[in-house]
Chains A and B, each alone.
Chain A
Amino acid sequence: MTLQEALPLIIPLVILEWTLAIVALVHVLKHPNYRFGNKAMWVVIVLFLQLIGPIVYFIFGRGREA
């Protein structure tokens, strides 16, 4: 399979992953209270651990909305 053949799958895949990562990044920057860890740690996790990072942040790391 060539890359061109795979594009119809890869484009939506990349869009989905980055939507989740960016929503998580905005949340990390706007709500500086976390259940554990600090801002820098969460920025790295959310941006560099695609898919797993944002999920871990929203389920375990997100602090109370203030």
Chain B
Amino acid sequence: MTDLTKLTVSAALDGMAAGDFSARELTAAHITAMEASNVLNAFITKTPEIAVEAATASDARRAKGEAGLMDGIPIAMKDLFCTEGVLTTAASHILDGFTPKYESTVSGNLWAEGAVMLGKANLDEFAMGSSNETSFYGNVINPWRRTGDDHAMVPGGSSGGSASSVASFSAMAATGTDTGGSIRQPASFAGIVGMKPTYGRCSRWGIVAFASSLDQAGPMTRSVRDSAIMLQAMAGFDPKDSTSVDMPVPDFQAALSGDIRGLRIGIPKEYQLDGMKPEIQALWDQGIDWMKAAGADIIDISLPNTKYALPAYYIIAPAEASSNLARYDGVRFGLRVEGEDLNDMYASTRAEGFGDEVKRRLLIGTYALSAGYYDAYYLKAQKVRTRIADDFKQAFQDVDAILTPTAPSAAFGFGEKSDDPLAMYLNDVFTVPGSLAGLPGISVPAGLSADGLPLGLQVLAKPFDEETLFKVAGVLETAADFTATPDDWWRG
């Protein structure tokens, strides 16, 4: 029998529909693969018992002709989604032992469509990071390594465990969340497809909040079609999230026509950074050629405020985080460190419970919101955000989609950037502007770096035009024909 873990979601759905294998067999193969990949540390909590039970129920549904969109597909759930009765940590010490009594809307939607949970995927603490080096539960390792070198590479972040589990064939797909690039950048580093929907497309209810005006859940998969299938299952209006948008969810798979003739693809000149790596520029040029060959019109565009996106983001996201994370005070959930009095208990709990990067951002955010500095930092950043969004609005009058690199480099080694927060922040230089504007974006694996690591290209589209996004991404995927996989050195 073929190795069931190597299938795409769509092929596995076809296989189960044809009766070639059962959801139980598919899940069993993935549980074995997950157990054999412990060295990658992609999971904080594994739930094989829940998976087997869900797969058994899935087979029963399919036998009755009641299979859902993702029925029987084993996935990893980023440990930022609250899951009823299953430990939920946000990769932070401060949430020690937190076991929600409720289910996040997005994870609930996936279970309602039959998806099977293999476990909770590791991440950067509170989704703050670009390398998965800030998790209380340890670093996640990228299954990819440089050619002829066994130095461990970061998987990107913050959805690093999700990316690593999908790239290592431990999970068929995974959920991620993207605040400034946390789905797209790790997807690029791990050679998979990572998609951030338009802000408002997926409910944020039950997702541990980082920066509420930016956070969006999205799928991480090994094909663009799988991404469309999984988003279909995740998305939809939710009255419990006041920013969830009440509009119909289109049939995303139907958008994968493979035909982009006459579509206008924008190339923003400001994304050509000084000192950009030649191989990133070459990949981008290649992508432009693929778009042209498929019949699209390439149009040069200008997004003049691009350079200010990162500094604006590093005020807005920490400011929102400082407010959201105020709830972790040792009273309602998780860790408590006793102190001399109530205030001392709060401060001691938070000192011990949060890691360095989280503390750094909480202090920046608190400062930016404090009396006397609010206008200079927070209000200014919000105004710059308006200008960045206006740049995109202007550009989208002339183009249907935008093509850029996903990240300024391939995956790097552990410790190479963790001593310098600013160097780390630059990982998100191409993803943050679209996040600030609330746009849908997708990273598609498009080639290998000189030392054999995957590189992604990013497509951005207009708000709520995920159909064009998937259509362009599908053509990019076909042209790139990225079939490389990492050597399976990690299998124990």
A-B interaction:
no
Residues of B in contact with A (beta carbons under 8 Å apart): none
